[in-house]
Amino acid sequence: MVIVKTAREISKMMDACRISANALRVAGEYVKPGITTWEIDEKVREYIEKQGATPSFLGYGGFPASACISVNDVVIHGIPSKEQILKEGDIVSVDVGAFYEGFHGDNAYTFACGKVSEKAQKLMDTTRIGLEKGIEAALAGNRVGDIGNAVQTYVEARSYSVVRDFVGHGVGAKLHEDPSIPNFGKSGHGIRLLPGMTIAIEPMVCEGSYEVDVLDDEWTTVTVDGKLAAHYENTIAVTKDGPKILTIAG
């Protein structure tokens, strides 16, 4: 069931989203050669808890950390580790959420660790702009398929692929709510977007095949061909005046 929020609920939700966005910015400040993904996760958790909030991911479905940190061919759900040391040229996707006063915020960004290759930067740029295209299509009266089609069209025109096995989602009092928000699809298809809907749009884009494998830890999701992947995400509200990004740092 799709839950449409009131203006007051969206206003409250913006606080959780701001904390989430700031936590993501904190993570980005620590993405540098020589640091472990575990250390980044610790900084994220510390920041969120200092705001009086709770990390949305910690313990969710058994996930053992506060942030998903996914490096290079890891698409999503990478588990932070003391053994994983970042190196120059890595691309590092950080996905983080915060729960505050009854609502969640959820966002992700792929950071460059030092200087990355031209092909890695192009993948990151394409994925980020794909997210922007998806957000632009999140207009009241449009349908979910319009979002997915906008992302897919932009990404595939640049010879990349969009992951099919994982999608965006509604977000609010629960971290994952209806509807599902695929990053692919047909314009004019799917649930109609209504003012007050709050959704997480999150393209996961691969350099090669869109097929993925989930490793034995039941979380870490990698590209089947070992090629790079990038992931960007914002929580937005559908309004009568257009899409409003809620996950803004400040």
Query: What domains can be seen in the chain, in order of their start residue?
Result: 7-245 (3.90.230.10)
What pLDDT, on the 0 to 100 scale, is given for residue 217? 98
Neighbours of 176 (CB within 10 A): 16
Share of the chain above pLDDT 70, in %: 100
Two tokens, residue 232: 């960007």
pLDDT tens sequence across 203-238: 999 999 999 999 999 999 999 999 999 999 999 999
What pLDDT, on the 0 to 100 scale, is given for residue 152? 98
What pLDDT, on the 0 to 100 scale, is given for residue 37? 98
Rg (CA), the chain: 17
Average pLDDT, the chain: 98
Residue 238: closest CA among 185, 183, 179: 179
What pLDDT, on the 0 to 100 scale, is given for residue 93? 98
Strand 234-239, strand 242-245: pairing:
antiparallel
The answer to whether 232 and 125 have CB atoms below 8 angstroms apart is: no
pLDDT tens sequence across 185-197: 999 999 999 999 9
pLDDT tens sequence across 115-140: 999 999 999 999 999 999 999 999 99
112 pLDDT band (50/70/90 cuts)?
A: very high
The answer to whether 232 and 109 have CB atoms below 8 angstroms apart is: yes
What pLDDT, on the 0 to 100 scale, is given for residue 99? 98
Backbone angles phi, psi at 113, to 5 degrees: -95, 100
